[in-house]
């Protein structure tokens, strides 16, 4: 499958967020390959009070202000990591939060990373931003990884018809709640529950 080029990421952030649905997130860990279809995303914009970039560049969020197509991972709630893709132009500070994926390859490793005993709870493996970050082994160490490289990247996958894409408000934020910047694939079981 075709790895997404830099030009995919440097477009308008809401466009990238929508177009990431159906694409395949790939992580190489040693001999293992973990892959999953992206089924839910959220866009975070430069003039957006809910975005980490809103108050300017800091040590934590500087990756967001870099070139598009890099991974931005942050730590929150004292115990969780969340993975984002930097988008649009350098110096602006926009990104797309990957909220959920449908696992494809490497389910065993993902379950192990999540501390789940068996596949009975398989739906809990990657149906939320902190869960998929844990399943894919994404932490602060992976923040700043170039997604056009060969360790963590995104490839073409299913083309999602417009009629299957739901646009709605974002989850878990205290400001800018009215902005419709969350996108997910309709009827997909792996989309996170509100």
Partner DNA sequence: TCCACGATCGGCT
Partner DNA sequence: GCCGATCGTGGAG
Whole-number minimum distance, CB 8 to DNA, in Å?
18
Write down the least CB distance from residue 163 to DNA, Å: 26
In terms of CB distance, is 77 or 187 closer to DNA?
A: 77
103 contacts 36 by C-beta, under 8 angstroms: yes
> Which CB atom, from 19 or from 126, has the smaller least distance to DNA?
126
Q: Nearest distance from residue 10's CB to DNA, in Å?
A: 17
The nearer residue to DNA, 117 or 163, going by C-beta atoms, is 117
Residue 129 or 157 having the CB closest to DNA: 129
**What minimum distance in Å lies between the beta carbon of 1 and DNA?**
25
Q: Where along the sequence are the contacts to DNA (CB under 7 A)?
A: 42, 44, 50-53, 55-56, 58-61, 64, 74-80, 82, 84, 95, 97, 114, 124, 128-131, 140, 170-174, 192
Identify the three-state secondary structure at position 77. coil
Q: How far is the CB of 167 from DNA (least distance, A)?
A: 17
How many beta carbons lie within 10 A of that of residue 186, not counting itself?
12
Contact 103, 125 (CB under 8 A): yes
Tokens encoding 148 = 């056009």
For DNA, the closer of residues 130 and 160 by Cβ is: 130
Sequence-ordered strand ranges (E) for the chain: 24-29, 32-44, 71-76, 80-87, 94-103, 152-155, 165-168, 182-185
What would you report as the CA-atom Rg of the chain, rounded to the nearest whole angstrom?
A: 15
Report DSSP state, residue 154.
Answer: E
């Amino acid at each position: 499958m075709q790895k997404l080029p830099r030009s995919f990421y440097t477009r308008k952030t809401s466009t990238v967020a929508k177009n990431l649905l159906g694409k395949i997130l790939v992580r190489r860990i040693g001999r293992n390959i973990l892959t999953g279809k992206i089924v839910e995303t959220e866009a975070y914009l430069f003039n957006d009070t809910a975005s980490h970039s809103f108050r300017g560049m800091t040590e934590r969020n500087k990756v967001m202000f870099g070139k598009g197509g890099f991974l931005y991972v942050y730590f929150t709630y004292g115990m969780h990591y969340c993975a984002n893709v930097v988008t649009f132009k350098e110096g602006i500070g926009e990104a797309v939060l990957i909220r959920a994926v449908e696992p494809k390859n490497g389910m065993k490793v993902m379950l192990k990373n999540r501390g789940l005993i068996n596949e009975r709870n398989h739906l809990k493996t990657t149906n939320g931003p902190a869960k998929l970050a844990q399943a894919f082994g994404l932490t602060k160490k992976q923040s700043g990884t170039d997604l056009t490289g060969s360790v963590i990247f995104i490839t073409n996958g299913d083309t999602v018809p417009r009629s299957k894409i739901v646009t709605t408000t974002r989850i878990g934020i205290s400001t800018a709640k009215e902005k419709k910047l969350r996108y997910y694939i309709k009827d997909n079981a792996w989309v996170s529950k509100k």
